[in-house]
Amino acid sequence: MTPAARIAAAAEVLDAIAGGLAAEQALSRWGRSNRFAGSGDRAAIRDHVFDALRCHRSFSARGGGESGRALMLGMLRAQGRDPAEVFSGVGHAPAVLTEAEAAAGEVPEGVQALDCPDWLADDLKSSLGDDFAPVLKAMQARADVFLRVNALASTPEAACAALGVEGISAEPFPLATTALRVTDGARRIRNSQAFADGLVELQDAGSQAICEALSLPAEGRVLDYCAGGGGKSLALACLAPHLTYVAHDAHPQRMNDLPARAARAGVRIAPTEAPEGRFELVVADVPCSGSGAWRRQPESKWRLDRAGLEALLATQAQILDTVVAHVSPGGQLAYMTCSLLDAENDAQIAAFLSRHPGWTRESSLRLTPLDGGDGFFLAVVRPPEAS
């Protein structure tokens, strides 16, 4: 495919997303219907689509509309390229611009230029302070690909060497001792021997840093209450394999791959639909807005609304109130989000402490994309001594 044909295909996929399909679903459907497209074509189309989702408001302003075609026009203008060179109508290129399209568009300003939803701007400004604009600008760019080195099987240096043999370039990243930033060959990772042998796992550097920030117990059990695919369970198990790990999720099918991933890493994690008893550490990585990970899941930024956020806040509070019964005397509850919003972070913990007298906050940590990885929040709270 020519570069212009790839842009035409991206516009088609964006229209499918606007029609209600999830981004990954729309891309997969396009790929099945256009099997002539090679891996390089599909990767380029995917990049265009996600660039447009990250920068939807600013591209829409520059392109004069919200159709896939307008978003691609806005992308070209943002890049300083001449749209006429792409919108040529030659071969599979997009059709020539109409007079109206050529005249439409404007330079975005304010929160529009930052690709921030209007309804959430004040919340983010209050939560981020002086970092508001820098963080929003950082989230207009693609996120780096990070790997977590399995400390039970390798070192960062040895893992980099093993990856290098297979054409994957990576380097240690300072946010976490186990983090590697991939600089070339990211699409080869899942088929690499280093991945198959459990030397590395895909995991954001911020997520790794949050795990490393925990003070793990000397002995006992750990419950990952909102485990999802189990990435944090795996990271903790590789840091402290002497502990017993139990993983739970409200949607158990999300943990289907966890036994195989744990076996590959050389650790043991027991998935369960109904955790029993108490644990020395309970990790609650709760459902959230995902605002700290908008670079990776940009469509969620535009599909979230105030009602959806309020529903998430209620779910988070409910989970916190539920898991207290699983925290052993002297144990810890680690509350985590990948959100930048105070309402989901500090305010949620403050409300929890007001509902549960005697519980105390031991520590907290906030990361934003300015730290290099995704945005995360961690608060560790402890029960009263007599609980």
Active-site residue set? 338
Handedness of CA 182, 172, 338, 241 (dihedral sign): positive
For 321, residues 6+ apart whose C-beta sits below 8 A from its C-beta are 352, 355, 356
Determine the residue type at 190: R
Cα–chain center distance at 264 = 23
Query: What DSSP designation does 222 have?
Result: E
- Specify the DSSP element, H or E, that contains 172: strand 169-172
For 149, residues 6+ apart whose C-beta sits below 8 A from its C-beta are 155, 156, 159, 178, 179, 180, 199, 200
Which neighbouring-strand residues pair with 181? 146, 171
| Residue 216: count of CB within 10 angstroms of its CB | 17
Angle, helices 56-63 vs 39-54, to 10°: value is 90
Nearest to 84 by CA among 72, 71, 96, 67: 96
CB-count burial class (<10 Å; 0-12, 13-18, 19+) for 137 = middle
Nearest to 223 by CA among 281, 277, 158, 180: 281
Angle, helices 306-323 vs 346-355, to 10°: value is 40
SS3 content of the chain, % helix, strand, coil (to 5): 50, 15, 35
Alpha helices in 118-189 (DSSP H): 118-128, 132-138, 156-165
| Residue 182: count of CB within 10 angstroms of its CB | 21
